[in-house]
Every structure is written in structure tokens, then in C-alpha cells.
Chain A
């Protein structure tokens, strides 16, 4: 009897393993993680192809794809063409989103507080320490700002969200560029640090007078107060799908080597100043033809059919002409054993 049960168990497990489709492995940025997991879920229901995505941060994603432990890496910080060529990687954008400054300030409605890039940089530099500082009050006539100390909240871990945010601050504040710079992790002049977008959101919600920066979806889902920022055209805009799309619309993807594109501080009346794209990194020379083909089919489905899902989660889907450019790159550069993989 025992033998029968044992054989049945082994057959069951083996059968389950065979029946399941392949599992793709990816790792990287936490910025697009909610979107990738939703897409993976919907795709698995259609095709039995599973995705295992580990949200370990952009730096982790780059390290893992270079170590060849995953099929693809994800990073909010794009790699330059030289670095891509040196590693034999191809890069393409998958989605876009915005980073929003969030605040905890009593008596101020969501999106009501207006800030400029220079003032934002001064707050994060520790030069403006109180909410009723004249620089902030000047931008917000008629808004009753309480007398409260500013508590800066930033990321404790290295992150693509930080990369995008500090890239923006470095563009709008020469002092920020000189004294802090722009990277996935920087030496913050002041403030407390939370782990992940979730950690920053939790701190900002807890501490009165706090200001932090999170990816837009985290601000919406956690119902945190965000600010309006002044963009390059001088207009104050609120974060949202339309302002992110406006920022992305002007980008010249055609002439970007390796799709290297930074979308912060873009021109345009309706552009949100802290927009960013999230990229996928794959090897140009794929080892396994069928596995690589499944991976490209997954990406293709996401790019062509995933738009509504993306919008529902407050991400910006890629415009159609950009999808065409991406797929042209696949056809040209991605091969397995010399044979082109796409279409």
C-alpha cells in the first residue's frame, strides 16, 4: 500500500512539473513591480507561462543580469550605450511613471501646495527647515501653512526612484549637483531614511511635517498628500497619467542610443517634471531559442495588450510608435545562436 502511495505521489509531482509551462525569471526595480506582477498574472492565465520577478532594486537587477542568474533585468536607471555594449546587453523601455513628492501637512489639501524645483532642492539640502519659510509661503498665497518643522524622508536603500529624483534635483539646482549629485544612492544632507517606496510612504504618513518622494502609484494607493510642481515651462502641474504622458511625448526615442533616455525636467506646458521610464535588460545573444522566444512573446503581449492594466495601476503605457521602435530593435539585435528571434 505504502509503495502505491509513494509512486502515485511521485507521478503527481512529475506530472505537475511537466504540465506547467516554463517560468521566466526577472529581477530588478521596485518602481514597476506592481505592474509587472499584474501583467504576469494575466499572461499566465492566458498562456501558462509564469513569471518570477524579484523586486530587489535597479542595482540588484543590473547585477543579476550581468551574473546571468535571470532571464531579464529591470532598471529605472538606464545604462549608457558603452556599458550595454561592454556587457553584450540590449535595453528597451517597458513602461513609464512619475515620482511625486509627498507631504504630511495638516490643513493643506492634496495637490494644493505648490513648490518649485529650486525650493524642493533647498528643502532636501536642509536649507529650508520650516514649512512657513518665506520661500514656500511666497509660492502659496492664500494657503494657510502651519508653523511646522520639515522632516525630510528619503530612501535608505539604493533605488532607481532615487536615481530619477536626484537626477531632477541636480538639473534644477546647481548646488545639489555640486554637493550631492545624482545616483541610485547618495549621501543625503539631512533627513531620515525608509526602506523601499513602502518605507518612505510609511514614514511620511506617520510623521507630521514630513516630506518624501515615492512612485506615483504608492502615493495614490496609500492616499498620501502630494504637491504640485513647477515644470520647465513655468506652469504648476499635478502628477497624473496625462502629465506623465505629456513629459514623455517630447522625447526623441529615435535618436537615443540603446534607448538611453532621461525624462526629468522635460519641456511642455503639461509635463510633469519628475517622470521616468523603466527599462528591461536582456542579452543580445540568447542561449536558449525557445525560452528567449517565450520571453519576447511575453514582452510583446505586455507592450501591445497591457495598456489598460498599466493605466489602471497609474503607469503610462508606451506610445505605439515607441513600441514599433522597440520591436525593430528586437528584430535587428536579439539572436539565438546566430538566428534572429523576432518576429
Chain B
């Protein structure tokens, strides 16, 4: 006990306790990976790599290939990011740089409120309000004008990949915008005022000073949004159509890993079916892991570039 020297009594307890909690996080993560691996092992053995390359989801013949789920996850997330990130950036810039406080404050509160709405509400709104709107106005218009592009083909029923992607975008937009706004608010006023003092226009200050200063935070916010969009379940399940088919047309129904798990897990009774579903879960976990690692690497390289 004497070896521990200066740490003793309450400090020792505190250090041990916090250390144990931190270690618990690692243990839980390792346990998660282990359990998912163990339960999906029969499916991994049976299907191997073809699980990722085939599109076949047949509970009757117990033949499973998850291509449509993986594709759906990636495409719906991509649509959400393409729509949400530029919009969030613009909204955050507006709120911090351009809006007078009388507008900025209420809009800021509204954004935070939107970010807190449970995702199932978005799903219900999507099903009852948004999908009919898409079916009646947006999709026929897009088929007419842009129907020659294979992306804009499919039955215009309002329920499909595009609607799911847009609902996801609406879900992550307030969240990402709120984080980006906080990032911009942390830019030291001194920096901006120095730039203004040298005669820069508002645009030059915004693009070259504010955004550049906050780029690390912006990238971080985007990846937070990406992480949320990849695993989003209920909002997507309501409007994506839950069909295990693969097609380029965005109006066609599709499915994501999360929606498949939500729909089919409770009822799956055959061991191979369950094992394949757990393997899907493992794929989603690995996907999230890879995305987060890429984010960390990218952030690190930006920091290095900025001499941090």
C-alpha cells in the first residue's frame, strides 16, 4: 500500500471507479462483437461471401443474401447526406453570420426542438403526409421531366427509396445544423474582426475564416449525422416499402438493414433465419465502425494539415 505513495483513500477509490467504468465500455464493445459473431457463425459458414453479393431473401427455402439490405442502407444514407449536409451548412451560417438576433434566436430554438422529435413521429408524418404529397406532385413531375435517367424510374406511389432518403435528410438536418451552428459560434470574434478590418467582404470572411476555422467541427458534425442516418429504423420502415428487391430506380420500394431487423427479428424462428438476421446486425455494426474510423482518420489528417 505504501508503494502507491501519494494516492490514497478517496482519491484511490475515485480513480479505480472511473477506471473500471472506462474499462467497462471496452468490455461491452468487445462483448457485443463477440456475441454477434457467435450467433451469426452458422450463417457465415453457410453463405460466406455470397451473403454480401447475392440478392435473395427467402425464409421458406432458408436462402439468404443481403445485397438489397446493404444497398438500401448505403443509398438511403447517401441521399440523406447529399440533401442534409449542404442545407445544414447554409442554415448554420445564416443563423450565426447573417441573421439578426430577433430571427436567429427563435429559429435556433426551433431547430433544437426539431432535433429532439422522436424518429417514429417523422415516420408517421412521412407515411400520412409526405408520401401522398410525393405520389401526387413530386414523383409524377420527376418521372416526366427526368424519367430518362434510370434513377427516376419506378411506380410513383410515394413509398420507396427516395421518400425514405428525404425523410432521413429531414431527420438529421436539425441535428447537424445545431452542431454546425455551435461550431461557428466558437470561432473567435477577434479572427473575424481582423479579417473585416483588412477589408474582406462578408463572403470572404465566411468562406476563408469561419468555415476554415471550424472545418474539423463541421466534418465531425457530418459524421454524427451519418452515424444517425445509417442506423435509423422506425422513420425508414414506415416509408421505404420493405421489399427485398434491388433496383436503380429510386421510386421503387427497398429495404435497409435496420428496417429488415425491425420487421423480421421477432418472428424468425428457424435457426438459419435468426443467424442471418444477426449477421445483418453484425454488418451494420461493422459499417458504423468503419465509418467512425474513417471519420477519425480524416479529422486527424485535417488537424495535421492545420498544424494542430
Contacts and interface: CB of A to CB of B under 8 A. Distances in A.
Contacts of A57: 266-267
Interface string B231-270: 0000001100111100000000100000100111011110
A184 B60 CA distance: 9
Given A184-B269, A203-B159, 15 more contacts: A56-B266, A57-B266, A57-B267, A59-B267, A149-B155, A158-B264, A158-B267, A183-B60, A186-B59, A192-B157, A192-B160, A195-B262, A195-B263, A202-B127, A207-B158
B255 to A, nearest CB: 8
A329 interface: no
B56 interface: yes
Nearest to A180: B60
Contact of B241 (A181, A182, A184, A192): A192
Interface in A174-208: 180-188, 191-195, 202-203, 206-207
Contacts of B241: 192-193
A198 to B, nearest CB: 11
A186 B131 CA distance: 26
B58 A187 contact: yes
A59 B266 contact: yes
B57 A156 contact: no
A27 to B, nearest CB: 10
Interface string A192-226: 11110000001100110000000000000000000
A193 B262 CA distance: 13
Contacts of B135: 207
A58 B59 CA distance: 15
Contacts of B158: 206-207
A193 B242 contact: yes
A195 B242 contact: yes
A264 interface: no
Given A151-B155, A193-B253, A203-B159, A186 B60 contact: yes
A319 B61 CA distance: 37
A183 B264 CA distance: 13
Contacts of B244: 187-188
A204 B127 CA distance: 12
B281 interface: no
- The contact size tier of chain A is 20 to 34
A185 to B, nearest CB: 4
A157 B155 contact: no
Interface in B51-81: 56-61
A192 B163 CA distance: 14
Contact of A194 (B56, B61, B242, B269): B242
A256 interface: no
A193 B60 CA distance: 17
A62 interface: yes
A184 B257 CA distance: 20
- Chain A CB within 10 Å, residue with most, of B57, B264, B269: B269
A158 B242 contact: no
Contact of A185 (B56, B128, B264): B264
Nearest to B260: A156
B42 interface: no
Contacts of A182: 60
A60 interface: yes
9 contacts: A60-B266, A158-B264, A158-B269, A182-B60, A184-B267, A187-B56, A191-B253, A206-B127, A207-B135
Interface in B145-169: 155, 157-160
Contacts of A22: none
B132 interface: yes
A-side binding surface: helix, strand, loop or mixed? loop
A57 B237 CA distance: 18
A63 interface: yes
Contacts of B57: 187
Contacts of A62: 269
Nearest to A187: B58
Nearest to A162: B267
B263 A193 contact: yes
A180 B56 CA distance: 13
Contacts of B60: 180-183, 185-187
Contacts of B127: 202, 206
Interface in B120-135: 127-128, 131-132, 135
Contact of B264 (A157, A180, A203): A157
B8 to A, nearest CB: 36
Nearest to B267: A158
A61 B264 CA distance: 14
Contact of A156 (B56, B131, B264): B264
A159 interface: yes
Residue among A57, A63, A187 with the highest chain B CB neighbour number at 10 A: A187
A157 B268 CA distance: 9
A156 B269 contact: no
A104 B237 CA distance: 22
Contacts of A194: 242
Nearest to A61: B267
Contact of A187 (B59, B238, B253): B59
B169 to A, nearest CB: 21
Contacts of A181: 60-61
Contacts of A184: 59, 267, 269
Contacts of B264: 156-158, 185
B276 to A, nearest CB: 12
Given A187-B56, A187-B60, A59 B269 contact: yes
